Amino acid sequence: MNKKEAILWAAVDLMGEQGFEKTSVSQIVKNAGVAQGTFYLYFQSKSELVLGIAAHIIEDILKEAMSLPLSADTPLKEFISQLTDLMYHQTLKHRKLIGFIYSGTAYYSSFREWENLYIPYYDWVKEKLSLYREKDRLKEAYDLNYLSNFIIGLLEHGAEQVYLMETKGFDGTGSKEQLKMFIYEAIASTK
């Protein structure tokens, strides 16, 4: 593990236990086993570190997405189902971090950089959706750039309603099944 990774993991551990506000840079570097100045080689501030943690989570999501058992013959409905299950699993797995990342990004001035973290994930979903377009199972009217963004946004929102906001009446199973059905029926060809 390199020093940057050590800092990220130390921050993940500490912020997961104490929260964003209560975790100091000095605690992070002490836990990482690096000098205080090393932190500033990689990050300008604790708030910028939050973006690094967000990148780690999105990389984890993309890594798991790329390992989904998908083939050229996987039906669109099954792809939507697996993608939904993945997002709910990842949100549950990282729920503490996601909660303070959202609060931490309020301190970080560039939401554009936050959105840029998602580009590889959007591109992966777009690539998969393009396969369904070629097989005439996806409505032609959809711009896949928008569609991949919207699908990921819907899935994140649904999972966060269950695992972060704990919205009354929302349970993981019911929420997932409703989203799977909604997304599939919205985008599948009706020819």
Domain range for 28 is: 1-43
Nearest to 85 by CA among 177, 166, 183: 177
Same domain, 113 and 172: yes
What is residue 52's predicted lDDT score, i.e. its pLDDT? 80
Beta carbons of 8 and 38 less than 8 angstroms apart: no
Residue found by looking up tokens 């959706």 in the block: 129
Same domain, 49 and 16: no
Full DSSP string of 58-127:
HHHHHHHHHTS---TT--HHHHHHHHHHHHHHHHHHTHHHHHHHHHHHTTSS-HHHHHHTTHHHHHHHHH
Query: Rounded to whole angstroms, how far apart are CA atoms 9 and 53?
Result: 8
Whichever domain contains 16, its CATH number is 1.10.10.60
Tokens at 137, concatenated: 């199972």
**Number of structural domains in the chain:** 2
Intra-chain end-to-end CA distance of the chain, in Å: 52
The pair phi, psi for residue 92, each rounded to 5°, is: -65, -45
- pLDDT per residue as tens, the chain (191 positions): 789 889 988 988 888 788 777 889 999 999 999 999 999 999 888 878 878 888 888 999 999 999 999 888 899 999 999 999 999 999 999 887 787 677 655 455 467 777 888 999 999 999 999 988 877 667 778 899 999 999 999 999 999 999 988 778 888 899 999 999 999 998 886 55
Same domain, 130 and 151: yes
Same domain, 142 and 104: yes
Measured on CA atoms in the order 63, 64, 67, 73, is the torsion positive or negative?
negative
Q: Rg of the Cα trace of the chain? A: 19
Q: Give the list of residues 6+ apart from residue 79 with CB closer than 8 angstroms, or none.
A: 70, 128, 132
What is residue 191's predicted lDDT score, i.e. its pLDDT? 52
Tokens at 22, concatenated: 């209560």
Same domain, 36 and 125: no
Same domain, 157 and 176: yes
Query: Rounded to whole angstroms, how far apart are CA atoms 56 and 71?
Result: 26
What is residue 107's predicted lDDT score, i.e. its pLDDT? 52
